Amino acid sequence: MGYILNGFVRAGILLATGNPETFSAVFTTLKVTSMSIMASLFFGIPAGFFLGYSNFPGKKHIRAVVDTLLALPTVVVGLFVYAFISYRGPLGRLGLLFTIPGIALAQAVLVLPIVISLTATAIEGLDRRLKSTLLTLGARKKQIALTSLVEARHAVMTAAVAAYGRAISEVGISMMIGGNIKWYTRTITTAIALETGKGDFGEGVALGIVLLLLAFVVNWILILLKTKK
């Protein structure tokens, strides 16, 4: 048990002194995750709204596919994105492999089904009288859509937090697409795996503490937003 205690002590020292290597992984993680979440919300919220609000042929099948993709393994996403952005792939000319935008792209693909599915569920759960009431008041389609999103805002924020949690904690994509390059594409999770494998338990604990703190901060922000009227 002594090495565990020593690991926590060293973790405190690394965090307190602002160890550059530790915080490099932290900043890379924040950058990658923010980019991926922004992209997934930009495409996922409209898609989820359309899926939950509209009725069209094949809707149940599309919904089943989206819900199935919620359990998509990260290494599978990494494999297919790698195939597309590698130098022999159709997007190889973009130079995304072993870059931060490349990791963000793959993470966005991973969490997009979460945003779509939870947003669709939120829209489907709205009071059915809302649309008819808005139509009676003379609201247009755009106004109905915006009002529906406002009513479902807490559930949509929950979808964003769930997506953020999965993106920030994944390892496979960051390792395959980013290459775990020190000072450049090394994230918290890949650094934890590497340092722990090397026997540097303190570094791993330090990064683990930061990862937990980020998760708590995101969830507290969600709680504060939900308490506001």
CB–CB of 174/32 below 8 Å? Answer: yes
Q: Hey, what are 199's tokens?
A: 């026997």
> How many whole angstroms separate alpha carbon 52 and alpha carbon 115?
12
Burial class (CB in 10 A: 0-12, 13-18, 19+), 57: exposed
Say if residue 219's pLDDT is above 60: yes
Span 75-96, pLDDT tens digits: 899 999 999 999 888 998 888 9
State the distance between the two ends of the chain, measured CA to CA, in whole angstroms: 48
CB–CB of 106/178 below 8 Å? Answer: no
Task: Place 137 in a pLDDT band, splitting at 50, 70 and 90.
Answer: low
Say if residue 226's pLDDT is above 70: no
197 versus 33: the higher-pLDDT residue is: 33
Instruction: Say which CATH number the domain at 70 has.
Output: 1.10.3720.10
Alpha carbon 99 to its chain's center: 17
Say if residue 1's pLDDT is above 60: no
Span 189-212, pLDDT tens digits: 998 888 888 877 777 788 888 888
How many independent structural domains does the chain possess?
A: 1
pTM: predicted TM-score of the whole model, two decimal places = 0.86
CB–CB of 97/87 below 8 Å? Answer: yes
> How many whole angstroms separate alpha carbon 82 and alpha carbon 96?
9
Domain housing 46: 2-227
Q: For the residues 143-150, what does the mean pLDDT come to? A: 75
> How many whole angstroms separate alpha carbon 191 and alpha carbon 174?
10
Residues with Cβ < 8 Å from 94, sequence gap 6 or more?
Answer: 85
